[in-house]
């Protein structure tokens, strides 16, 4: 099908030592402690160095190690044994990076870190790189859901039991039942079967809808109702799963994009033969949304990976062609010039909301921001490559039943304050920073939510990924019906069951008075570094401003970009030469809307560079990424982990704050910028704007 090299993650490499009952790592097992202390990190990486004492280092463990740090996005075109070389190459302690090949050369078998390990992207490349580099076990205070599920699926063990460290350093073989303590039966079964693909073939061939779809006698949340209607009956899952128990559901839609399709195809063909029989291929979708501008990506050019990326894209096209799967291809500047409207393109999860997902459905995709479609009142969540490969052939999608968190957003949101500001506020709350949202289902309610458009609700549910959640959902209402009719021409009637019942029980409730919120930013390094912009207390000069991504490339986001830039032109302001402003459409529908409204003329007059629909700089895949560590970016994307959008510093902000900052050349809210320029005027042929 393609000339990509074989992957040891398919087939025998998935076999775990479960039949032995022990995890025996040997008498001289090396443990890699991911620490905040640079000298200690460097010392560990020296071949032959004496191992540190656990007691000396446990207090220095890094929290919030992201998948961008485990495997930087630029190397995701690899999915064979070459991945081993890049394990942890995005990890930094006080400016010190782990160099390529160091984990392999050090012969480490165990990794230890702090809380929320594996946060961020759903990329299965991260546990794959660890396992291929020789890591057999990851010990952390807590794990992000998708990372841990991906690790299970390929046979990489994980544990939160720190008492194992001393035993491993003594050379003791650890019984598997101790490593698997506290895990649900399904996770244990998958690990001891050697991974999900083989488990699925043995256990899920005849999965059928569960009788639990019948109405429950107790009040239920909307999430619980949707899951019960999609629950599958299998020999290995309970008929009425409780929180923490594993289950399988049948998705209405399964989608995948180019970073994962070649890997999934190779897993399937290596493990099950070619061709495979796909389950309901009419409900599968394939997207190209990360590679439109890869030939202009500084990171991919610097590492010589452009040809790899093109090969990866071709592998996806081959797979889609072989099985007749509906595909949305990428759209470049050159193609857009002759576009007749037939190529509907864009970021996968934004496209799902614009074209496919409906209230009450289950939507599954290979991207952590799949919860985007939860804005329509469906259950949408991200999975890894092996989960999707298994779902392709069995129709069964694995979930672990989450705890339920109701987030009440009350009050009236002040003009100029957006859903992005609200999410940055949520991310900065101590409870969320401590990991209290990890793995939970977030149901957004309250007057502030009811007043939001679907585009704004999608920002909330999309960034459930940053909050650590399993998914986010907003109950459908009149605004949902309006969106479906206006944007998609769909006449949708909300059914009586499509709401959370009065008296439904939540594991936790969080309340926020949105009346008090103002423009927020998050300082570089983590989306949780948020605070009100008016508390910055210093001037932060900006080199790059980027508006786009799934979080901020929607129609209403572009309304904000236009309004601020049109106001700026009316004041005689343009983007200064010292700043590069990039605006990237999320989908072709957003692009066409902007052109029809004349926004593109305002953007060009203000000095912005307009980019065709793609993930782009958000995933370090195109213009808008920084090229050196000294550059400062203000960005409307969802994540600002180190290296996520180039080597520079990335501040997260809302769409109006991004373009206001671009106009001034430093971080500023639109409100404060307007206060500096009270008197409107007519400049550059643009109409005057209200102050």
Looking at residue 9, what is its pLDDT? 53
pLDDT value, residue 682: 44
Domain assignment present for residue 208? The answer is: no
- In 25-144, where does DSSP find H-type helix? 38-45, 54-57, 67-70, 102-106, 125-132
Q: How far apart are CA 402 and CA 393, in angstroms?
A: 25
3-state secondary structure 169-205: HCCCCEEHHHHCCCCCHHHHHHHHHCCHHHHHHHHCC
Q: What is the CATH number of the domain that holds 107?
A: 3.20.19.10
**Containing structural domain, residue 504:** 405-516
Q: What is the pLDDT of residue 70?
A: 96
- 21 and 59 both lie in a single domain: yes
Query: Would residue 202 count as lying in a domain?
Result: no
- Same structural domain for residues 420 and 342? no
Question: Taking 70 as the threshold, does the pLDDT of residue 445 lie above it?
Answer: yes
pLDDT tens-digit map of 177-219: 999 998 988 999 899 888 898 898 888 877 888 754 556 779 9
| Structural tokens at position 356 | 């496919």
More confident residue, 645 or 607: 607
Q: Token pair 């672990």 is at which residue?
A: 400
Out of 38-42, 152-156, 298-302, 556-560, which region has the weakest mean confidence (pLDDT)?
298-302
Domain assignment of residue 214, yes or no: no
Asked whether residue 166 is domain-assigned, the answer is yes
Q: What is the DSSP letter of 414?
A: P
Position 688 scores a pLDDT of: 40
Give the whole-angstrom CA distance, residue 524 versus residue 639: 9
Check if the beta carbon of residue 34 is closer than 8 Å to that of residue 88: yes
pLDDT of residue 12 exceeding 50, the answer is: no
Answer with the residue of higher pLDDT: 442 or 47: 442
> Pick from 361, 379, 397: which residue ends a domain?
397
If one compares 217 and 423, the residue with the highest pLDDT of the two is 423
Check residue 178 and give its pLDDT.
Answer: 93
Neighbouring C-beta atoms of residue 564, cutoff 10 Å: 27
Kindly report, residue by residue over 517-570, the tens digit of the pLDDT: 999 999 999 999 999 999 999 999 999 999 999 999 999 999 999 999 999 999
Q: How many CB atoms lie within 10 A of CB 686?
A: 20
DSSP three-state, residue 586? coil
Select from 620, 631, 639 the least CA-distant residue to 294.
Answer: 620
Percent residues over pLDDT 70 in the chain: 93
Q: Can you tell me the distance from the alpha carbon of 304 to that of 330, in angstroms, rounded to the nearest whole number?
A: 21
- pLDDT computed for residue 117 by the predictor: 96
d(CA 630, CA 624): 15
Residue 296: the pLDDT is: 82
pLDDT level of residue 339 (50, 70, 90 thresholds): low
Cis peptide bond prior to 458, omega within 30° of 0: no
Mean pLDDT of 112-138: 93
Instruction: Flag whether pLDDT at 21 surpasses 90.
Output: no
Residue 5 has pLDDT above 50, yes or no: no
Instruction: Provide mean pLDDT across the span 35-58.
Output: 87
Closest CA to 137 of 199, 179, 198: 179
- For 194-254, the three-class secondary structure string (H helix, E strand, C coil) is CCHHHHHHHHCCCCEECHHHCCCCCCCCHHHHHHHHHEEECCCCCCCCCCCCEEEEECCEE
pLDDT given at position 290: 85
Contact residues for 541 (Cβ-Cβ < 8 A; gap 6+): 578, 632, 665, 666
Q: For residue 80, is it within any domain? A: yes
Give the other-Cβ count within 10 Å of 294's Cβ: 25
In the predicted structure, residue 336 carries a pLDDT above the cut 80: no
Do residues 522 and 535 make contact, with C-beta atoms less than 8 angstroms apart? no
Residue 369, pLDDT above cutoff 60:
yes
Tokens found for residue 377: 């009142």
Q: How confident is the model at residue 619 (pLDDT cuts 50, 70, 90)?
A: confident
- Mean pLDDT, rounded, for 96-121: 93
Torsion sign over Cα 613, 615, 618, 621: negative
CATH number, domain of 491, equals 3.40.1060.10
C-alpha pair distances (Å), 99 with each of 61, 69, 89, 120, 126: 19, 12, 6, 21, 16
Residue 532 sits in the same domain as residue 615: yes
- In this prediction, residues 473-502 reach a mean pLDDT of 97
Taking 90 as the threshold, does the pLDDT of residue 331 lie above it?
no
Asked whether the beta carbons of 152 and 191 are under 8 A apart, the reply is yes
Phi, psi for residue 394 in degrees, rounded to 5: -115, -20
Answer yes or no: do 23 and 168 share one domain: yes
The pLDDT-based confidence of 158 (bands split at 50, 70, 90) is very high
Task: Return the H-helix or E-strand segment holding 79.
Answer: none
Number of compact structural domains in the chain: 4
Does one domain contain both 424 and 386? Answer: no
503 and 652, same domain (yes or no): no
Comparing 641 with 450, the larger pLDDT belongs to 450
- pLDDT at position 689, please? 39
**453 vs 393: CA distance, rounded Å:** 37
Question: Is residue 129 pLDDT above 90, yes or no?
Answer: yes
Residue 685 domain flag: no
Check residue 344 and give its pLDDT: 86
Q: Are residues 410 and 377 in the same domain?
A: no
How far apart, in whole angstroms, are the C-alpha atoms of residue 31 and residue 469?
A: 29
Indicate whether 15 pLDDT > 90.
no
In this model, does residue 81 exceed pLDDT 50?
yes
Residue whose C-alpha is closest to residue 236's, from 268, 274, 188, 275: 188
Question: 158 to each of 174, 428, 602, 634, how far by Cα in Å?
Answer: 13, 28, 52, 36
Give the range among 329-343, 468-482, 490-504 with minimum mean pLDDT.
329-343
- Indicate whether 66 belongs to any domain: yes
Residue 394 has pLDDT above 90, yes or no: yes
My answer on whether 524 and 512 are in the same domain is no
pLDDT of 479 > 90? The answer is: yes
Whether pLDDT at 644 is above 90: no
Q: Output the pLDDT for position 20.
A: 46
Residue 124 shares a structural domain with residue 268: no
Same domain, yes or no: 102 and 173? yes
Residues 590, 591, 594, 600: is their CA dihedral positive or negative?
A: positive
Q: What pLDDT score does 103 carry? A: 95
- How is residue 116 annotated by DSSP? S
Tell whether 368 and 420 lie within a shared domain.
Answer: no
Residue 128, helix vs strand vs coil: helix
Last residue of some domain: 464, 499, 516? 516
- CATH code for the domain of 649: 3.30.499.10
| Predicted local distance difference test score (pLDDT) of residue 340 | 59
CA dihedral 425→430→436→439, nearest 10 degrees, is 40
**Helices 348-355 and 478-488, packing angle to 10 deg:** 100
For residue 1, pLDDT over 60 is answered with: no
For β-strands 396-400 and 246-250, DSSP reports them as: antiparallel
**Of 621 and 216, the one with more pLDDT:** 621
Whether 242 is covered by a domain: the verdict is no
Q: What is the mean pLDDT of residues 103-112?
A: 95
Q: How far is CA 375 from the centre of its chain?
A: 16
Written as six digits, the tokens of 681 are 């005027």
Q: What would the DSSP string read from start to end of 600-612? A: HHHHHHHTEEEE-
How many residues would you count in the chain? Answer: 691
Looking at the fold, whether 538 and 626 belong to one and the same domain comes out as yes
Tell me the mean pLDDT in the region 499-508: 96
Q: Percent of the chain having pLDDT more than 90?
A: 70
- Residue after which a domain boundary falls, among 516, 544, 565: 516
């Amino acid at each position: 099908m393609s000339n990509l090299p074989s992957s040891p993650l398919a087939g025998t490499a998935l076999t775990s030592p479960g039949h032995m009952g022990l995890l025996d790592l040997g008498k001289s097992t090396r443990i890699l402690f991911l620490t905040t202390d640079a000298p200690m990190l460097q010392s560990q990486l020296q071949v032959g160095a004496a191992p540190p004492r656990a007691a000396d280092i446990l207090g220095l463990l890094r929290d919030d190690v992201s998948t961008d740090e485990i495997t930087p996005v630029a190397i995701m075109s690899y999915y064979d044994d070459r991945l081993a070389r890049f394990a942890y190459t995005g990890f930094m302690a006080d400016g010190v990076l782990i160099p390529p090949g160091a984990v392999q050369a050090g012969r480490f078998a165990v990794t230890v870190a702090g809380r929320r390990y594996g946060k961020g992207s759903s990329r299965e490349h991260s546990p794959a790189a660890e396992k291929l580099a020789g890591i057999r076990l990851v010990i952390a205070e807590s794990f992000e859901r998708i990372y841990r599920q991906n690790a299970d699926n390929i046979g990489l063990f994980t544990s939160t039991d720190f008492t194992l460290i001393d035993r491993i350093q003594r050379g003791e073989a650890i019984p598997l039942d101790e490593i698997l303590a506290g895990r649900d039966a399904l996770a244990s079964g998958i690990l001891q079967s050697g991974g999900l693909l083989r488990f699925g073939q043995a256990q899920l061939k005849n999965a059928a809808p569960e009788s639990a779809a019948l109405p429950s006698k107790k009040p239920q949340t909307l999430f619980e109702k949707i899951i019960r209607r999609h629950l599958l009956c299998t020999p290995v899952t309970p008929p009425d799963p409780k929180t923490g128990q594993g289950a399988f559901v049948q998705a209405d839609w399964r989608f995948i994009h180019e970073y994962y399709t070649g890997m999934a195809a190779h897993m399937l063909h290596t493990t099950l033969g070619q061709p495979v029989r796909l389950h309901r291929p009419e409900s599968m979708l394939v997207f190209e949304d990360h590679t439109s501008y890869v030939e202009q990506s500084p990171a991919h050019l610097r590492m010589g990976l452009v040809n790899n990326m093109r090969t990866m894209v071709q592998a996806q096209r081959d797979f889609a062609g072989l099985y007749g799967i509906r595909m949305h291809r990428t759209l470049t500047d050159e193609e857009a010039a002759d576009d007749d409207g037939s190529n509907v393109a864009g970021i996968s999860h934004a496209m799902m909301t614009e074209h496919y997902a409906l209230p009450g459905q289950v939507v599954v995709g290979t991207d952590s921001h799949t919860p985007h479609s939860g804005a329509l009142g469906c259950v949408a969540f991200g999975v890894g490559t092996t989960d999707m490969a298994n779902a392709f052939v069995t129709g069964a999608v694995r979930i672990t039943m989450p705890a339920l968190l109701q987030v009440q957003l009350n009050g009236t949101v002040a003009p100029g304050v957006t859903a992005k500001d609200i999410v940055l506020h949520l991310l900065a709350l101590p409870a969320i920073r401590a990991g209290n949202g990890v793995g939970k289902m977030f149901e957004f309610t309250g007057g502030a939510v009811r007043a939001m458009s679907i585009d704004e609700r999608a920002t909330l549910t999309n960034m459930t990924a940053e909050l650590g959640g399993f998914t986010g959902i907003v109950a459908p209402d009149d605004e949902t019906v309006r969106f479906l009719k206006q944007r998609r021409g769909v006449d949708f009637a909300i059914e009586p069951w499509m709401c959370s019942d009065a008296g439904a029980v939540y594991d936790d409730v969080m309340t926020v008075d949105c009346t008090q919120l103002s423009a927020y930013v998050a300082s570089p390094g983590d989306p949780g570094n948020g605070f009100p912009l008016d508390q910055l207390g210093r001037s932060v000069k900006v080199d790059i401003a980027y508006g786009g991504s799934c979080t901020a490339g929607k129609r209403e986001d572009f309304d904000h970009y236009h309004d601020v830039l049109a106001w700026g032109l009316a004041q005689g302001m343009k983007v200064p030469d010292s700043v590069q402003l990039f605006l990237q459409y999320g989908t072709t529908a957003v692009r066409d809307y902007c052109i029809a409204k004349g926004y593109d003329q305002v953007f060009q007059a203000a000095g912005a560079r307009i980019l065709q629909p793609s993930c782009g700089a958000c995933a370090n895949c195109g213009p808008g990424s920084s090229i050196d560590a000294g550059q400062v970016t203000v960005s409307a994307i969802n994540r600002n982990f180190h290296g996520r959008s180039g080597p520079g510093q990335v501040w997260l902000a809302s769409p109006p704050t991004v373009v206001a900052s671009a106009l001034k050349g430093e971080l500023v809210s639109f409100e404060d910028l307007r206060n500096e320029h009270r008197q409107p005027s007519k400049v550059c042929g643009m109409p005057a704007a209200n102050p």
